[in-house]
Amino acid sequence: CTHRVKLYFISVLRDRSHIDETLRLATEEKAGDYAAAIERLRKIYHTSIKPMEQAYKYNELRQHEISAYPGRTLGNSATDGEITSKPMVLFLGPWSVGKSSMINYLLGMHDSPYQLYTGAEPTTSEFTVIMHGEKIRSVEGIVMAADSSRSFSPLEKFGQNFLEKLVGIEMPHKLLERVTFVDTPGIIENRKQQERGYPFNDVCQWFIDRADLIFVVFDPTKLDVGLELEMLFRQLKGRESQIRIILNKADNLATQDLMRVYGALFWSLAPLINVTEPPRVYVSSFWPYDYAPDTSRELFKREEISLLEDLNQVIENRMENKIAFIRQHGIRVRIHGLLVDRYVQTFKEKMSFFSDPELVFKEIVDDPDKFYIFKSILAKTNVSKFDLPNRDAYRDFFGVNPVTNFKPLTAQCSYMGGCLLDKIERAITNELPALLSSINSGKQPGLSSCEATGCGEKPKNRYRKN
């Protein structure tokens, strides 16, 4: 009899109306305002931030940095695809914990031809990107990486073996107009990266760095934390504010057992999440079928709605987040430009007619503190010491980029284009905050006063001695 009751509840589909209601999918967005803000943001980046990126080869620094800038990044240089991309929601966790089932449930893909395959065994061997499209179709990884209009072209660096394990699914869906889901292969303990044929951890890190929301999903009956899972949480350092823990399939346990499992989960994860405020944990059962009988269905329903509100918050704030991240990116580029300029100036000051250029610069780059490289930046430019990159990164950076290849900031000015430093500082202090204010106040983001009227002033070089 119990077996028949369980089969009955598995066959009964759950009402999904609260999903559309909580995510406000029936509400029409102001597409024109959003498009105008994106275009304005793209223009600020290309005119004010990217020139300094290119002049001082910021992308080369990023290749040599390991952990100088923890947290979300926009890549070596932000592409149009990254600026215009939708918020990314990343699903991580061990195998067969319900990641694919959760995506099927949120998108209503159950029993559709394009539902993600699920099962008790490890089923997802690919990185699957579910995104909006005019019609339902699958997109191969090599096509996604070759399309410059998307934000996935940097994935080519992980090799053809990985691109064969990357697949995209496009479909017309209201939720996918506002967000992109990424399903990942389940973590299997004792599996080496070499067995996958591509650098799995590096690929995960790439998606982690670009995700707006990260769901780490667990099955209450499989809470073992092994080396692979420990590695995953090390990769999540600095991203705690984006992490949400999902204790899925919660209706498989009685309430008392569920409380024990909840405590055991925190006990297992506590050494891996060393923060004052732990990530939010959602306890429910995220799949299309009704909850099992004699379980805390009201609690599970409230938890699910809370998770949906969390997701909706990311969607609602996507424009503000893009502006904030571009501004953060601009601050890092500016600091890099100031540091390179300081290295160049110090090199020129220490050089004499009889000096060996290589020995002079080796002394500077080996001990930058002796020449007050970083301290002078902090003193003169009001830069936080917590924003400074790793000193060792510059030894590697100048190892492939000779200091003589760079001009000082005083030489990075033109009559028509202005000064690189002036433009990036104006973007950081005025243009991006103004764009953010216009979004928050609901005003149409427009041109700055100089762009509208043409200020016509000759750019002033603040570094040139009179």
pLDDT in tens, 85-103: 899 999 999 888 889 999 9
The gap between the terminal CA atoms of the chain, to the nearest Å, is 94
- Name the burial class of residue 131, with classes exposed (0-12), middle (13-18) and buried (19+) by CB atoms within 10 angstroms of its CB: buried
The answer to whether 172 and 35 have CB atoms below 8 angstroms apart is: no
Model confidence pLDDT, tens digit, residues 358-403? 999 999 999 999 999 999 888 877 788 888 888 888 999 999 999 9
What average pLDDT does range 280-286 have in this prediction? Answer: 93
Q: If you compute the radius of gyration of the chain from its CA atoms, what whole number of angstroms results?
A: 25
pLDDT value at residue 85: 86
What average pLDDT does range 201-221 have in this prediction? Answer: 92
The answer to whether 216 and 243 have CB atoms below 8 angstroms apart is: yes
What average pLDDT does range 166-170 have in this prediction? Answer: 94
The answer to whether 48 and 426 have CB atoms below 8 angstroms apart is: yes
Cα–Cα distance, 280 to 284 (Å, whole number): 13
pLDDT value at residue 61: 81
| Residue 463: DSSP 8-state | T
Q: Is 111 left (phi over 0), alpha (psi -120 to 50) or beta?
A: left
Lowest-pLDDT choice from 64-73, 195-204, 435-444: 64-73
The answer to whether 327 and 432 have CB atoms below 8 angstroms apart is: yes
Cα–Cα distance, 8 to 212 (Å, whole number): 38
The answer to whether 334 and 425 have CB atoms below 8 angstroms apart is: yes
Distances (CA, A) of 282 to 103, 279, 380: 15, 10, 47
pLDDT value at residue 463: 38
What average pLDDT does range 415-419 have in this prediction? Answer: 86
Q: Which two tokens stand for residue 116?
A: 């993600």
Beta strands in 121-232 (DSSP E): 127-132, 137-140, 166-171, 180-183, 213-218
Q: Which two tokens stand for residue 168?
A: 């995209």
Q: Note the pTM of the prediction, 2 decimals.
A: 0.80
Q: Which two tokens stand for residue 42?
A: 């793209």
Q: Which residues contact 331 (CB under 8 A, 6 or more apart)?
A: 387, 428
Using DSSP, state whether 222 is helix, strand or coil. strand
The answer to whether 440 and 328 have CB atoms below 8 angstroms apart is: no
Cα–Cα distance, 329 to 333 (Å, whole number): 6
| Residue 114: DSSP 8-state | T
Using DSSP, state whether 121 is helix, strand or coil. coil
| pLDDT interval class at 300 (50, 70, 90) | very high
| Residue 48: DSSP 8-state | I
What average pLDDT does range 156-182 have in this prediction? Answer: 94
pLDDT value at residue 30: 65
- Name the burial class of residue 78, with classes exposed (0-12), middle (13-18) and buried (19+) by CB atoms within 10 angstroms of its CB: buried
| pLDDT interval class at 420 (50, 70, 90) | very high
How many residues comprise the chain?
Answer: 466
Q: Which residue has the higher pLDDT, 115 or 244?
A: 244
Cα–Cα distance, 256 to 337 (Å, whole number): 58
Q: Rounded mean pLDDT of the chain?
A: 83
User: H-type helices in 28-135, by residue range?
Assistant: 31-44, 50-55, 58-64, 80-84, 99-107
What average pLDDT does range 165-177 have in this prediction? Answer: 93
| pLDDT interval class at 457 (50, 70, 90) | very low
Q: Which two tokens stand for residue 426?
A: 């104006």
Q: Which two tokens stand for residue 105?
A: 């449930």
Which residues, in sequence order, are bridge partners of residue 140? 167
Model confidence pLDDT, tens digit, residues 15-65? 889 999 999 888 876 666 788 899 999 999 999 999 999 999 998 886 544
Q: Which two tokens stand for residue 372?
A: 């007050």
From the centroid of its chain, how far is CA 452? 34
| pLDDT interval class at 305 (50, 70, 90) | very high
